[in-house]
Structure 1
Amino acid sequence: MIIRGDFVHCPRLGELLVLHDQVLGFIEHLGAAHTQESQEILNDASEPPIVLERGTFLVPTFCDLHLHAPQFLYQGTGLHLPLMEWLNEYAFKAEESLDADPILAERVYTRLTERLIENGTGAVLLFGTIKVDTNLILARVMQRAGIRAFVGKLSMDMSSRPTYVEPSVSGALSSVISFVSSCRGMVAHLPVHERLVEPVLTPRFVPTCSDALLRSLGELASAKNLRVQSHMAEAHDQVDYVRRERGKSDVEIFAQSRLLTPRTVQAHCTFLDSPSLVNVAKSGAAIAHCPLSNAYFSARPFRLREALNVGAKVGLGTDIAGGYDIDIMGCMRQAVTDRIIAVAEDRQGYDGGPLAIDWKEALYLATRGGAIALDLPTGTGAFAVGAPFDAQCIQLFDSKSSSGIGPLDFFEGPHPTQLTLDVIEKWWCLGDMRNRLAVWIQGKQLWGKKLGGSV
């Protein structure tokens, strides 16, 4: 597949590049169309290249670093309670209902994949449920849909809901070992580049996991080279509970359990102080920043700028259903508007400088930053030779009708003469799925119109 047109990506934090009139050859070549090498590729192509018209460009697909798949069942409801009460009233019930009904689980997870793809999400880190078979349904649905999915079977041997808890440490460990083996076996027959689903060790969070279970999971993660995900320092009531019951902080407990590793993603982290952020960065663990759900449950913003300044790996997460919007574009916008809260926050110990991020940095977090946090194949989240072709095609205006697409309006002439930062920012602020023409993962088109000729 050969594509000629404009490409937009953020290879580094604070850098947004607009590559005008490039030729991409899946993805063994990326270069300006006028060069001899590009012209030879165009001339030698076995099929006509896809040519993107003015006002249409490619951008990497989004990465969602934190999403509770079973909670998609009640997305957009039940956000009026504090975290610990909300878990009992909504989250545990929804997860338990899917564990009891595989047909419902298949329906919920299939619709979830459709929503993710149409919103441009190509990689997602998922919390599942306790039951092995339900998580295998989730893994199978994601692999079938063609999404890069990291599926976590919940581990929890403590719970305020007696019917939704694992019987013992040994039972929880045996269950997760079974899931890891079955999940890996599900894709073992495929070529490596087509194995899009991986298992993830998922201690829910400290209040639902005994020290013995956390230590056992840390040993398993090391022995099997497994990814780890959990929640850390999310909400005031949760932080107080852990300190009162365990006499330590979340970050101390995870570190002592060997669960803060370069293969770990911790969600939220809103109540980490500056020294703790430094320790997380040194561990190599990544942070899933979930600005919308933080607004509901954390009562304070994440120290995003500080985390980036100390070198922590950070990406964005929707946190369905603690956040109600599955669209990462909404997550990016919320991350920027966190500045409203940040300026009023006590930042004792912070070394100065701006607290907020801008829209270009948010786009980095949603693409390249998320890919780095997830340890995706080299180059993912940007356009580079050797990187997987994970991309979405965005259309800003129709050159034939001289009108903007969807919510985008242009008044200076019939339409912009070229793709500029201002035009891209307009899409970033106002765009929606009406601007998305197509989505590819690993070079396979998953959604949208079949592109060919001029688009």
Structure 2
Amino acid sequence: MTIFRGDLAHCPTLGRLDILSDYCLGVNSEGFITHLAAASSSELLASSPPHKITSIPAGSFLLPNFCDLHLHAPQFLYQGTGLDLPLMEWLDKYAYRAEERIDADRALARRVYTALAARLIEHGTGCVLLFGTIKPETNLLLAEVMQEAGIRAFVGKLSMDKSTREAYREPGTSASLEAARTFIHDCRALTSRLPPHRRLVEPVLTPRFVPTSSDEQLRGLGEIAQEDPSLRIQSHLAEAQDQVNWVRSERGREDIDVFDQAKLLTNRTVQAHCTFLTDPCLDRLHERGTAVAHCPLSNMYFSAEKAFPLREALDAGVKVGLGTDIAGGYSVDIMNSMRHAVSVSRIRQGIYHEADTGTSTSRRAIDWKEALYLGTRGGAVALGLENAGRFAVGCSFDAQQIKLIDPGSRQGVGSLDFFDIADTVTLTAEIVEKWWCIGDAQNRVQVWVQGQKIG
């Protein structure tokens, strides 16, 4: 057993921050937490023979890893560029071409995916839901890279039997469905020889969005999902006005209805964005158990007419986590997603307050603690990972060590400055908030997934 002793912090429920000061946390050989107690009452410290203790020094703390619910792995190729067009034009000019290039060049794909894995670890993301490309072999490579890096990754081979870029689509509906089945089988085979707790990569059924899927294809994917109750599903839903209008013109329906009729709105589904959903649609997501990947940064570029109704979704009981949406969002750091989520929600609060001439009591903003929940435990719940995103006996030890103060110099680390440091550093909500607002990768010392140190 590995024993950690020090301060822990997590958000087990929305809006609640628990600081566990001077705790002992025990992790077994399979990477699960088997002991959690205050050091003053922990029998592990008095055991014979004594356990080896890994101390988390004062001024540092353990936090659950971040979970990124929406990231396009091949688009990491052009991260931070090409954000000048509306969504549908942007896809043609940038996204499809980059994905096609990745599919055509295995060496390039490995370089991009290896760099992406390193950046995820650097920024404390130990769990990620990934969109890939249409070629099965390239997505298997993506799965291999994530497994080798030790990241808990859910990999989606794109299903696209339609496309505005004719060179980048699958040859037909039957071929697309067969490719999806093959990828699911082959992805699982990658880790089949490993013990269950070391199988970090899983396949995800991934119709890109309604404009790139025929009704026949979506129905076929729905049948695959019904046949396999462990299979997760992901797509994009009601992201941008031009996309919503496209679906209405082409299908004569809302895209939520298209997904629902294909039986693709399930309690294993994560839908990205959802900015243009009405309250009744949010209620439908809750009824179906479908989760939302909220991507506030990319929404600023592609959903500028409307922000995602985050507070309304949470109040409706919808499962929500955060996504970076690389490369529609330019930052791979979930901390930026958390901060943007709060900023956008506060703007919404001000807009509604002004519209109600100062009389509104409706709350639409979220605070930093709620955002921290969304970036950790909320993402895990959205993925059906009940034993992740928090510190509790039986949960996976997926954690990051955050260093706030250097014990030698007694100075803040990175961009953090402290002016009233006592002889004994006590972790408080105020200190965690300071890190949440202005901390960065310099504060991240170590990262573990399933008990294994990966960074």
TM-score range, shorter chain: over 0.9
User: Could you tell me which residue of structure 2 aligns to residue 265 of structure 1?
Assistant: 270
Q: Distance in 1 between matches of 2:134 and 2:424?
A: 52
**Amino acid of the residue matched to residue 318 of structure 2?**
A
1:346 to partner: Cα distance: 6.3
Q: 1:416 to 1:45 in 2, by over 3 A?
A: closer
Identity %: 59
1:53 to partner: Cα distance: 1.7
Kept in 1: contact 2:405–2:412 (CA 8 A): yes
Aligned-pair RMSD on alpha carbons?
1.6
CA deviations 1:268-290 (Å, max 9, x no partner) are: 00000101000001100100000
**Is 2:371 the counterpart of 1:362?**
yes
Kept in 2: contact 1:123–1:148 (CA 8 A): yes
**Amino acid of the residue matched to residue 3 of structure 1?**
F
Superposed, 1:285-364 pairs within 5 Å as 285-299=290-304, 300-343=306-349, 353-364=362-373
Secondary structure, in 3 states, of the residue corresponding to 1:434? helix
Superposed, 1:2-81 pairs within 5 Å as 2-26=3-27, 27-41=33-47, 44-46=49-51, 48-81=52-85
Q: 1:355 to 1:159 in 2, by over 3 A?
A: same
CA deviations 1:361-406 (Å, max 9, x no partner) are: 0000011110000112x32100000100000000100122110000
Q: 1:13 to 1:142 in 2, by over 3 A?
A: same
Kept in 2: contact 1:2–1:45 (CA 8 A): no
Structure 2: tracts of 5 or more residues without a match: 28-32
Superposed, 1:114-129 pairs within 5 Å as 114-129=118-133
1:247 to partner: Cα distance: 0.7
- Tell me whether 70-79 or 338-347 shows the greater mean CA deviation: 338-347
**Amino acid of the residue matched to residue 17 of structure 1?**
D
Secondary structure, in 3 states, of the residue corresponding to 2:11? strand
1:341 to partner: Cα distance: 3.2
Kept in 2: contact 1:402–1:414 (CA 8 A): no
**Amino acid of the residue matched to residue 261 of structure 1?**
T
Kept in 1: contact 2:136–2:183 (CA 8 A): yes
1:235 to partner: Cα distance: 0.1
**Is 2:216 the counterpart of 1:207?**
no
CA deviations 1:82-125 (Å, max 9, x no partner) are: 00000000000000001000010011000000000110000000
CA deviations 1:48-84 (Å, max 9, x no partner) are: 3111221110000000000000000000000010000
Kept in 1: contact 2:163–2:169 (CA 8 A): yes
Secondary structure, in 3 states, of the residue corresponding to 1:397? coil
Q: TM-score if structure 2 supplies the norm length?
A: 0.95
Q: Distance in 2 between matches of 1:56 and 1:306?
A: 35
1:44 to partner: Cα distance: 3.8
Q: 1:34 to 1:340 in 2, by over 3 A?
A: closer
Q: 1:266 to 1:219 in 2, by over 3 A?
A: same
User: Could you tell me which residue of structure 1 aligns to residue 170 of structure 2?
Assistant: 166
Secondary structure, in 3 states, of the residue corresponding to 1:15? coil
Kept in 1: contact 2:24–2:42 (CA 8 A): no
Superposed, 1:248-259 pairs within 5 Å as 248-259=253-264
Kept in 2: contact 1:113–1:145 (CA 8 A): yes
Kept in 2: contact 1:228–1:265 (CA 8 A): yes
User: Could you tell me which residue of structure 2 aligns to residue 450 of structure 1?
Assistant: none
Q: TM-score if structure 1 supplies the norm length?
A: 0.95
**Is 2:426 the counterpart of 1:425?**
no
**Is 2:114 the counterpart of 1:110?**
yes
Kept in 2: contact 1:58–1:391 (CA 8 A): yes
**Amino acid of the residue matched to residue 257 of structure 1?**
A
1:412 to partner: Cα distance: 1.8
